[in-house]
Amino acid sequence: MTLSYDESVKKCFDILTIYEKASGSKVNYEKTKGMYIGSAKNNRPTFTKIVWTKDNVKTLGIHHGYNIQNDEIWKSIIDKMKNCVHVWKSRNLTYTGKTNSEKSLDLSLWLRN
């Protein structure tokens, strides 16, 4: 989620508190990370219930931050694919089986990265 002002962050978590009470769900504040970007990059956080970071963050497979190395992301995906293909070579899969396995792998890697 992208918020523009410090007040927005507090208001967002106030709304999440209401949602928690209604649904029984809980926000894991220890895993929740905030990051100032743009002209606010060097601001000090006023909302202290979450962890603030200047490192890159991955959210739902999307990398956010200032020093994102796309080459490294792609190398990681390709290495995972190579490892799976290596394992599949030891199995007697038909071409259909290989195709279905590759499609499943591609989908899972896209969703994770």
Same domain, 46 and 81: no
Same domain, 74 and 60: no
Predicted pLDDT of residue 100: 80
| Averaged pLDDT, groups of 10, the chain, 113 residues long | 80 93 92 85 86 84 79 82 78 81 72 58
DSSP string, 4-42: SSHHHHHHHHHHHHHHHHHH-----TTT-EE---GGGTT
87 located within any domain = yes
Contact call for residues 46 and 11 (beta carbons, < 8 A): no
Same domain, 33 and 79: no
Q: Domain total for the chain?
A: 2
Contact call for residues 42 and 36 (beta carbons, < 8 A): yes
15 located within any domain = yes
Same domain, 88 and 41: no
Same domain, 56 and 18: yes
Predicted pLDDT of residue 14: 93
Same domain, 59 and 78: no
Predicted pLDDT of residue 98: 77
Same domain, 16 and 47: yes
Q: Which domain holds residue 95?
A: 70-112
1 located within any domain = no
Query: Does the global pTM surpass 0.85?
Result: no
Predicted pLDDT of residue 17: 94
Beta strand 51-52 pairing with 33-34 = parallel
